[in-house]
Structure 1
């Protein structure tokens, strides 16, 4: 039972780590500016799914945010077009911070499951020796 718990929690750890990586990348690029004739930075969103025929949760893919982004008037920016506009990503920092907290808590919960399952497994081994 403990080995199953460790394996399942391990898939959760991997999923949440990838989610944390995506959110960190989105937050780091929230102010990335591109010319209006280019694509805006596209936020990454992790798509999770239940394991097919196995237990656990897995990353089934990545969804990307809008490449059109938001046009912002910033005539002093060296990347601004002739009318003074630049393209910024369509990323809501507040939403990303919420996602960061959820991913972090999920990671912590799965790490705690691994730790407790390991402790239970070690206790069972001690009983078997005793």
Structure 2
């Protein structure tokens, strides 16, 4: 029975990590059109989540954790808008380095991983309930 409990804990850590990933993706999508209001100012910079594993000594299992939330160092997009308050001396503004298609793809992947972990928890719970029924 302890293995079923451990599998539920591992899956729960995966759900927590993917939940954080979904939050960061949502932030990226929400700020996809955010630009600076100062001439030559930097717009919103895309964020990404990196995962790592952490040994839970009490359970003796490796759990997934959010290792870092990092900024994407790719270049900002430039757009010619000479009348915009954030336009530089040449009339260009900087747009965020967020690509909505990539964010939507990442969101689907995080959602699938979250759901897979949820199904693993449900399967473990069902097996645990059946085991308890047999023991009674």
Q: For the superposition of Structure 1 and Structure 2, which TM-score range results when normalised by the shorter chain? A: 0.7 to 0.9
Residue segments in structure 1 that go unaligned for 5+ positions in a row:
none
* Contact 1:27–1:93 (8 Å) recurs in 2: yes
* Contact 1:75–1:84 (8 Å) recurs in 2: yes
User: Does residue 76 of structure 2 align to residue 73 of structure 1?
Assistant: no
Residue matched to 1:49: 52
CA separation in 2, counterparts of 1:93 and 1:76? Answer: 26
User: How many residues matched?
Assistant: 129
Q: Name the TM-score, length of structure 2 as normaliser.
A: 0.84
Which has the larger displacement, 27-36 or 10-19? 27-36
Which has the larger displacement, 2-11 or 43-52? 43-52
* Contact 2:86–2:93 (8 Å) recurs in 1: yes
Query: What's the Cα RMSD here?
Result: 1.8
* Contact 2:34–2:95 (8 Å) recurs in 1: yes
Please state how far the C-alpha of 1:123 moved relative to its aligned partner.
1.3
Please state how far the C-alpha of 1:75 moved relative to its aligned partner.
2.7
CA separation in 1, counterparts of 2:129 and 2:44? Answer: 48
User: Does residue 116 of structure 2 align to residue 109 of structure 1?
Assistant: yes
* Contact 1:45–1:63 (8 Å) recurs in 2: yes
Residue matched to 1:98: 105
User: Does residue 23 of structure 2 align to residue 26 of structure 1?
Assistant: no
Residue matched to 1:60: 67
Q: Name the TM-score, length of structure 1 as normaliser.
A: 0.88
Residue matched to 1:123: 130
